[in-house]
């Protein structure tokens, strides 16, 4: 009986120590979490995070006169690691601006009240020195027309998110939702799209695609689905995207990454799950061995 009580005491002390350590870990995590993201993503090029950066320099000219264009808003869409953070700045009197960014690849979007919006293909900087890019924009705002939405799909009905189309000289990348929006398209005009990108056939095969399709622009806002393998354009919404093996593996990978980053929580949960049967047995044994309560009232 004494031995059993000693075992129960040791086990209770172990549980108490574990709960104290878990509380300390949660407290440390809360303090660490509060300072982990002290610097915003726009400052990744700064020394505190030890991320190498460079200067993305832009010169914007009028397509007709060749003169520099002032007050053009230059927006960079960062594509590093598949994510995007926007960096923006206006051009000066010389039609120039420089933006400090991490080394990598960017889509450049140029907007101005008196000019047509321009989106470039991927532009890459690989040096910490200034890298210059020259763009020409067309004067005159395009009004009216219809909006054409485009999806790129493979034979597995999966949406392509790495690629885009070139229309009237401007490149339009695919969004994270697999969607491309073309605005102010003239109804009845012949739309010629240069389609380029990359898709995943399996984990070891990432083929590229590049082809041209043409079709007549609709009279109303319309959605088109382009099947990249068959090079077929259909005027309809894309089918529902299936949950493939890659999606399942991605979910498991995200869970595993979270467990690794929060190992103390994972360890605590594991210990708690492991000792749950012992706790239940201890409670049951305590109930069985508890002496009856005798009343002193006669």
39: pLDDT confidence band, cut at 50, 70 and 90? very low
pLDDT over threshold 80, residue 148: yes
Give the rounded percent of residues in the chain with a pLDDT score beyond 90. Answer: 20
pLDDT band for position 33 (cuts 50, 70, 90)? very low
pTM of the model: 0.45
Q: Which residue has the higher pLDDT, 16 or 165?
A: 165
How far lies 84's CA from each of 215, 224, 239, 250, 253, in Å?
31, 25, 26, 19, 21
Share of the chain above pLDDT 70, in %: 67
- Residue 2 pLDDT grade (very low, low, confident, very high; cuts 50, 70, 90): very low
- Highest-scoring range by mean pLDDT, 21-25, 27-31, 140-144: 140-144
User: Looking at residues 236-265, what average pLDDT do you find?
Assistant: 69
pLDDT at 16 over 90: no
DSSP 178: S
CB 185 within 8 A of CB 226: no
* Confidence (pLDDT) at 253: 62
DSSP secondary structure code for residue 293 in this structure: P
Tens digit of each residue's pLDDT (9 = 90 or more) over 41-55: 333 333 333 456 788
Mean predicted lDDT score pLDDT of the chain:
75
Q: 294: pLDDT confidence band, cut at 50, 70 and 90?
A: low
CB-count burial class (<10 Å; 0-12, 13-18, 19+) for 277: exposed
Q: Indicate if the alpha-carbon torsion angle 270, 274, 280, 282 is positive or negative.
A: negative
Is the per-residue pLDDT at 6 higher than 70? no
Question: Which residues are CB-contacts of 176 (< 8 A; sequence separation ≥ 6)?
Answer: 84, 161
Q: Which residue has the higher pLDDT, 254 or 26?
A: 254
| Whether residue 289 has pLDDT greater than 50 | yes
Q: How close are the terminal C-alpha atoms of the chain, in Å?
A: 31
């Amino acid at each position: 009986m004494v031995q059993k009580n000693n075992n129960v005491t040791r086990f209770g002390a172990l549980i108490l120590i574990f709960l104290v350590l878990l509380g300390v870990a949660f407290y440390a995590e809360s303090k660490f979490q509060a300072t982990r993201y002290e610097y915003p993503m726009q400052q990744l090029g700064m020394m505190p995070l030890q991320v190498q950066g460079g200067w993305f320099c832009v010169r914007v000219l009028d397509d007709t006169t060749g003169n520099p264009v002032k007050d053009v808003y230059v927006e960079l869409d960062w594509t590093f690691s598949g994510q995007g953070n926007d960096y923006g700045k206006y051009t000066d009197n010389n039609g120039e601006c420089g933006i400090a960014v991490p080394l990598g690849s960017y889509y450049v979007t140029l907007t101005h009240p008196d000019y047509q919006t321009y989106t470039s293909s991927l532009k890459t900087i690989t040096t910490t020195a200034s890298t210059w890019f020259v763009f020409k924009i067309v004067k005159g705002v395009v009004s009216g027309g219809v909006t054409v939405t485009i999806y790129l799909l493979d034979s597995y009905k999966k949406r392509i998110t790495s690629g885009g189309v070139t229309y009237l000289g401007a490149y339009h990348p695919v969004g994270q939702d697999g969607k491309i929006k073309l605005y102010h398209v003239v109804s009845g005009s012949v739309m010629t799209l240069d389609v380029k990108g990359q898709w995943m056939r399996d984990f070891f095969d990432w083929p590229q695609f590049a082809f041209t399709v043409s079709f007549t622009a609709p009279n109303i806002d319309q959605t088109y689905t382009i099947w990249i393998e068959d090079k077929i354009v259909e005027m309809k919404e894309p089918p529902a995207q299936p949950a493939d093996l890659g999606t399942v593996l991605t979910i498991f990978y995200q869970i595993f990454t979270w467990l690794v980053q929060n190992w103390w929580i994972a360890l605590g949960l594991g210990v708690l799950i492991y000792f749950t049967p012992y706790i239940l047995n201890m409670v049951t044994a305590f109930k069985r061995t508890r002496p009856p309560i005798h009343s002193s009232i006669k």
